[in-house]
Amino acid sequence: MTETIKIKSPLTEELIKELPAHSSEDVQEAIGIARDIAPYWSGLSFKERIGYFKTVRKIFLEEKENIVDILHKETGKTKTDALVAEVLLSVGILKFYEDNAEEFLMDRKVKGFGISALKDLYVRNFPYGLVGVITSWNYPLLLTFSDAFPALMAGNCVLAKPSSLTPLTALMLDDIFERAGIPEGVYKTIVCKGRSEATDTFIKGVDMIAFTGSTNVGIGIGKSCIEDLKPCTLELGGKDPMIVLEDAKLERAVNAAVFGSLMNTGQTCISIERIYVVDSVYDEFVTKVVEKTRSLTVGEDEDFNTDVGSMTSEEQLNEVLEQIDDAVKKGARILFGGKRIGERGYFLEPAVIVDVNESMDIMTEETFGPVIAIRSVRDADEAIELANSSIYGLNGAIFTKDIEKGLKMAGEIESGSLCINDCLINYGIAELPFMGVKKSGIGVRHSEAGIKRFCRSQSVVVDKMGLKNEVYWYPHSKTSADMIFKVVDQFYKVEDA
């Protein structure tokens, strides 16, 4: 009997669709089809692949309103969140690699020095072949674009495995690719549950894994890849800090704190989850945050006029409520929100919580929900110390009018990315590499590095002298040794200061 996956709307808790789950045999078949088409796809010129993706982009833009509707119904996020963080950023990533992939991956000649100056030196890039993209449920479109498109542009075929909570958006891409004329097997979505037999077959059968999701799951996938020495990139959890100094533009800092904490109902790996505010502006900051949060609308979004949508799953909603309860039991105060609302759907009124400390899960564990947790600090030094106390290091934000001070502080914070007087936007800037440190992951997204991760590099040395023998080849002699000594002295001596 075929296993099925039921997709429920987090807005209404009603069944949207029931899909047959792919079996291990289905995955094997998909791998075989991809292997067959891989030589053709990798053999195309960049211009030919870009031609396909311009058609994809055209269809994608034609369907943007339908895509927003699917994302809204499937994930519970507001339509504006879907439009900005999924559609706008995704098409931007596609266009970025259309414009730059060839330059990033072209053969590069390297200048030699000393003995290597007698050779022509090249670095070349070749696709791995078949890339497995595994994404989480919070951004089913954006996360797929972030990995699948640079992988495809580099000449790989892609198998995409979305979360079983949100497969409809990913399956929509299959339809768009088919309409664009991309050959069967170049890209395919695999729908299956968790670490099933089908998932294990998926991981085992591809040449490289790009994973986005929780730290614990990512570590497990990393271990599976290590067994086969299979390359992987892992974008994992975050507990991102925001620091507000006494000279910050307070209105902008407040607006950023509320948006950065609540976008996509807080279900964002780079959400602001810990806010450290210097004592002198703490009370005013908190008052303004409560006012701003109280003014937001929460619920279903009919016409782009709702601020905060629903959680995507009841399980995640309950995890957030448990963190809030733990914080209150340990002395935190809720100034606003923090309760489930509505008679249907997974809606949680955004919470503003103060008097928090590092004994509470809400300040140490990833929350992934609509919570604004604020703590006062003496100064920038204490804020940096607390910011670095986390096991995570994905993103962060600093608010100060003194940009030089902000840049200096940024260098002291253990995170892969950071904004000064801004929040979250850095993920959407494809020109910049995006990465995590500590338990927030390994590997780089976006930029030149974001496409090169889907390639194996090859170094090539070409002799250009055509001599019968090299001085260091056989037979060895005192004469050849003296010549080598002279080369060492000539090229590598230390010049006087």
Please list the active-site residues: 235, 269
Helical ranges in 106-244 per DSSP H: 142-153, 168-179, 197-205, 215-227
Closest CA to 322 of 351, 357, 345, 358: 351
d(CA 475, CA 421): 66
The 3-state secondary structure of 43-62 reads HCCHHHHHHHHHHHHHHHHH
The number of angstroms, rounded, from the C-alpha of 27 to the middle of its chain's C-alpha atoms is 25
d(CA 272, CA 256): 9
Q: Fill in the DSSP letter of residue 279.
A: H
| Phi, psi torsion values for 185, nearest 5 degrees | 100, -20
Helical ranges in 7-160 per DSSP H: 24-43, 46-62, 64-75, 79-81, 89-105, 142-153
Tokens read off for 338 = 């923090």
Sequence-distant contacts of 191-196: CB under 8 A, at least 24 apart: 191/5, 191/19, 191/20, 191/21, 191/22, 191/161, 191/162, 191/164, 191/167, 192/5, 192/21, 192/22, 192/23, 192/27, 192/161, 192/164, 193/3, 193/5, 193/21, 193/164, 194/164, 195/220, 196/21
